[in-house]
Amino acid sequence: MAIPDLVTSAERGLFGRIPSRLFAPLAAPNRQQHWQLLCALYERRFGPDAPFPPSHGFHWREIARDIEDELAALDARAAAANAEPPLTPLVIRANEDFHQLKEAGWLRVELRGVKQMVTMPPVVAHFMGLLVEFAQTGPVFVAGKVRSIEANLRLIVRENAEGDTLQEAASQTRSLLEHVRNTGNSVRELMLSMDPTISTATYVRTYFDRFIQRVFIGDYGELRTREHPISRKQEIIQTVEHIHTSAELRERLIAWYSAKRTSGDMRRAELLFERDIQRLIDLKRIDEYLDRLDEEVRRANKQALVFLDFRLRALRPLDHLVKHAIAGVLAGAAEAAPFASAVERGVPACECPVSSIRQASSFREGTARGFARSRYPPNAPAATARDAGTAAARVARQRV
């Protein structure tokens, strides 16, 4: 359930929190290079896995040197792929990229005496963390999400947990439903992107690597079992309804929202409380999303099986066709013997017996047509096989 006041506030607040030109480097023609530079800087300098940064930031030459190292690595990979090297010197390109990231708001430069020190604004670093997490998202395990939601609700009812616990449970529920819903769309888009002209090995590798490992739900096969936590969703919803209708719990949680989220605005505090309650109640819609996901998965599996079955059927009669071709060559050799013997004696082809030439021509045409049929599976369109056979026979007649 969307609450208009809260939605409007979110729309106004996006570029009130991040710089207005933050997306410019990621929309430029060399956006892939800019993204890799940002990931490198986030990993080495500003991210949670980087060493603890100085409070005053890094000297700008250190950041420029990091950019140079990353550009050099990109150039080496491009050279290995036989791409043309950039004409602009490395140092100049590194300085240009540094200034582009600074002007877009990804980096902040402050003067400390005569030194230019570089930091990444906290809100930008947080946003970068969200982008990295989104880019690296793997399979989601529904069981862990549901257990966490259930545990947070239990803390509210039994241990008087505050509104932050309710807010976290609502956020996890929303994230879970969004992932399940988007997984069905991801499966459909993946199958549409599968090129039927690629090799069987590439098709199988793409299907299993991308479909099973990247866009799938980790515990998908267990969702319909009684042991899976999602089977207790009705009990979870009943707990949510109890929190919603209990005057004591409701008053305590709204008081937290008022004090911590809305600076005493009770109306907005109630809106936030109702929004989070509704997000939790929406958990009952997960069956609808799972049914739709099942349908997409069945369609994807059927499409993959049809493709693989076609490829296997096209290869299955190969040994039989080889034996048949050998037998045909051996049988046709005897029929073409008079023509062959005349040629060996030096008799021009125009003086050979007409019957011998016709036999040789018929043998060539039959062999050409049989080869054309062997190149197409039994269920190939008749017109395609017939046209190929006719063309091959025409070539055989021209050779004779």
Contacts of 269 (CB under 8 A, 6+ apart): 254, 255, 257, 258, 261, 262
Calpha distance 273→154 (Å, rounded): 17
Q: Which tokens hold the place of 185?
A: 């769309």
Name residue, tokens 């290869």: 315
Other Cβ atoms within 10 Å of 44 Cβ, number: 17
pLDDT tens digits, the chain, 400 residues: what are they? 555 555 555 555 778 889 999 999 999 999 999 999 999 999 999 999 898 888 889 999 999 999 999 999 999 998 888 888 888 999 999 999 999 999 999 999 999 888 999 999 999 999 999 999 888 777 778 889 999 999 999 999 999 999 999 999 999 999 889 888 887 777 777 777 777 677 777 777 666 666 655 556 777 778 778 888 888 999 999 999 999 999 999 999 999 999 999 999 999 999 999 999 999 999 999 988 888 888 887 887 788 778 777 766 665 565 666 777 777 777 766 555 554 554 445 545 444 444 444 444 554 555 545 544 444 444 444 444 444 445 444 444 444 4
pTM above 0.75, yes or no: no
Contacts of 10 (CB under 8 A, 6+ apart): none
8 Å CB contact between 85 and 78: yes
* Burial class, 244, CB count within 10 angstroms (exposed 0-12 / middle 13-18 / buried 19+): middle
**E strands present in 29-144:** 58-59, 108-112, 115-119
Fold of 4-135: Arc Repressor Mutant, subunit A (1.10.10)
8 Å CB contact between 311 and 40: no
**DSSP of 322-352, one letter per residue?**
HHHHHHHHHHHHHHTHHHHHHHHTT--GGGS
**Domain regions of the chain by residue span:** 4-135, 142-311, 317-399
Three-state DSSP at 139 gives: coil
